[in-house]
Amino acid sequence: MSKESQNGMSRRNFLKTGVFAAAGVMSAGLLSGCGNGRKHMAEDEKKAAGGVAAEPSFLKAPEPIADSQISKTADADIVIVGAGMAGLCAACAAAEDGAKVTLIEKTQNVNFRSYDYGCVNSKIQASVGTHIDGDAVASELMRYGGYRNDQKVVQVFTRESGAVNDWLLDMAQGLGCTIKHVWTKEEMVAPASTLPTFPTLSFVLNPPEGAAEVMPKGFYGGGPTIAMAYTLRTTAENLGVDFHYNTPAVQLIRPNNEGRVTGLIAQNTEDNKYIKINAKKAVILCAGDYGHNEEMLKYYIPTASKVNKISYPGTQNTGDGQQMGLWIGAGIDEAPHTAMYFDKAFVDNVKENPDALVRQPWLGVNLNGERFGNEDLTFGYLSNQVRQQPGCCKWNIWDSKWPEETPKFHQVACKEMMYHHNPEDIKRYIEMGLVKQADTIEELAQKCELPVDTLKATVARYNELAHKGHDDDYNKAPLFMTPLEKPPFFAAKLGTSMLVTLGGLTINENMQVLDKERKVIPGLYAAGNNSGSFFGCDYPTSIPGDSHGRAQTTGYKAGKMAAKEA
């Protein structure tokens, strides 16, 4: 499988310019102060700005683009912004119901990442004996969201994603894709774990012959990702969807921020001319997250200043959909927004993508050589722990028994060992110094520049608890308490990677965007990471594939609902 080696952007490189390189008053307020709230932070910002209160520039609506600046006008029933997972699902769903669909995309082609497709009770899941309690999944999503999310929106995923997964698989197989793998409950759910895990992953696809040659190069995930991208783009084209690449949306049309959204204005980046597209039925925002917008990150996710890596670098995901919605009166999720944090960054070389082996629930120690928490947690919770430690990093330590131990762990998503472990990568990491190898714990401590006596004591205590069969210190399940006894020993220094941001415009269960008073803004829908109301605090990797599954389900539903508009 292709790795993410070319896709990592270090936090240092990303944040050394712009707003993150400034005083960071808002970040400091949220990270080090408790209970003072945004009023306190606004006062600090005012002081830092010499007495003038600072408002983020993205909150200031630009002047409407005049008709005299429009070079071309077009008409459609539905205009969709963004050719990713959500946008293409929306386009196919609406077009198959007879709607005339125009899809505009900021970049030169469709955009897809990876292939973990989560759902609840699809036919392919049932074929391998998997049945999921959808109400339990909804309750877990609400708990991870701190009940700041909207349960009716969450239940669209838990109650409707299975049928959408069926729709996608039928579509893919109809175009010649084949099933490479169907995930089973036994593969996804460990016999014991600290937090409940749900077997929500579905299928992995192989693309048909010739698909790779006609799709963009460099998709993370290789063939399986190509298969889904090929399926959705080809289906949309066959249904007559009108694609406009290199054409970012710049403004929604809603005069005086009253009444209906009647279309949008986009700009062709090849000639910089404005295009007005009238939408008879609706506009659907599927333009992705704001992970490449420094100002929005600082404002909505101040902890992003502590991550080591932006997993998907670039310039395209700048919160265009969120901003356009805000400018015409839409509501947005309460801050701070959720970020998809993974314990998936080599601190000393963020361009390398850590193999699943180094991220298993091994003993983790901080820079003082001390254990600091339960290592069997979801990726976001692990990242939360690490951010509290010196240097915002940890050392994962394991021994040579790992071939017998890891199959029992049943880790999910990019920690599972079937598709995300390559022994050659581990050899390369050792040669590069990203993984340290030693014949004794003392030698390992020296190579990791950890206090020798402290690390030896930490390992001795960990081994004692492992043999006892109970983790008296942090209550990690005995399955994962594997003693460090068989040399050589290994260690990897890991930090946090941010994949995407998960804060978006507030919506209802029909994917209609709401204003600040929770009233529907007619003619405007949102899906995928442009939409909010789904996540609230932390991203739950214990419900694997729910990000892609949510994008598929909300995109599909937005398309269907918009097509019903008069």
Query: Residue 408 pLDDT > 70, yes or no?
Result: yes
Residue 295, C-beta contacts closer than 8 angstroms, at least 6 positions apart:
18, 19, 56, 57, 58
| Helix (H/G/I), strand (E/B), else coil: 513 | strand
Query: Residue 430 pLDDT > 80, yes or no?
Result: yes
Q: Which tokens sit at 95?
A: 């077009």
CA atoms within 13 A on the CB side of 300: 29
Mean pLDDT, residues 48-55: 55
Distance from chain centroid for Cα 560: 24
Query: Residue 89 pLDDT > 50, yes or no?
Result: yes
Query: Residue 371 pLDDT > 60, yes or no?
Result: yes
pLDDT of residue 104: 98
Higher-scoring residue by pLDDT: 206, 413: 206
Distance from chain centroid for Cα 298: 18
Q: How far apart are CA 425 and CA 95, in angstroms?
A: 44
What digits encode the pLDDT tens for the residues 176-192? 999 999 999 999 998 88
pLDDT band at 32 (very low <50, low <70, confident <90, very high): very low
pLDDT band at 259 (very low <50, low <70, confident <90, very high): very high
Mean pLDDT, residues 460-486: 98
pLDDT of residue 44: 46
By mean pLDDT, which of 196-200, 314-318, 476-480 is the weakest? Answer: 314-318
Q: Which tokens sit at 507?
A: 């919506």
By mean pLDDT, which of 28-37, 90-99, 385-394, 417-426 is the weakest? Answer: 28-37
Q: What is the DSSP string of 181-196?
A: EE--HHHHS-SS-SS-
Question: Nearest 10 degrees: CA dihedral of 371, 372, 376, 378?
Answer: -140
Query: Residue 97 pLDDT > 70, yes or no?
Result: yes
pLDDT band at 138 (very low <50, low <70, confident <90, very high): very high
Query: Residue 30 pLDDT > 70, yes or no?
Result: no
Query: Residue 6 pLDDT > 50, yes or no?
Result: no
pLDDT of residue 47: 45
pLDDT band at 7 (very low <50, low <70, confident <90, very high): very low
Mean pLDDT, residues 217-227: 92
What digits encode the pLDDT tens for the residues 435-464? 999 999 999 999 999 999 999 999 999 999
pLDDT band at 314 (very low <50, low <70, confident <90, very high): confident
pLDDT band at 248 (very low <50, low <70, confident <90, very high): very high
Mean pLDDT, residues 302-324: 93
Q: How far apart are CA 282 and CA 76, in angstroms?
A: 9
Q: How far apart are CA 149 and CA 536, in angstroms?
A: 5
Query: Residue 15 pLDDT > 60, yes or no?
Result: no
497 backbone φψ class: left, alpha, beta (φ>0; ψ -120 to 50): beta
Query: Residue 41 pLDDT > 50, yes or no?
Result: no
Mean pLDDT, residues 310-315: 84
What digits encode the pLDDT tens for the residues 501-519? 999 999 999 999 999 999 9
pLDDT of residue 22: 36
Enumerate helices (H) and strands (E) in the chain, giving the number of each: 19, 17
Higher-scoring residue by pLDDT: 220, 246: 246
**What count of other Cβ atoms lies within 10 Å of the Cβ of residue 98?**
10
pLDDT of residue 342: 97
Higher-scoring residue by pLDDT: 345, 32: 345
Residue 425, C-beta contacts closer than 8 angstroms, at least 6 positions apart:
3, 355
Higher-scoring residue by pLDDT: 245, 47: 245
**Could you give the angle at the alpha carbon of 221 between the alpha carbons of 109 and 544, nearest 5°?**
110
Query: Residue 476 pLDDT > 50, yes or no?
Result: yes
What digits encode the pLDDT tens for the residues 523-541? 999 999 999 999 999 999 9
pLDDT of residue 48: 43
| Helix (H/G/I), strand (E/B), else coil: 54 | coil
Compute the mean pLDDT over every residue in the chain, rounded to the nearest whole number. Answer: 91
pLDDT of residue 10: 53
Higher-scoring residue by pLDDT: 109, 32: 109
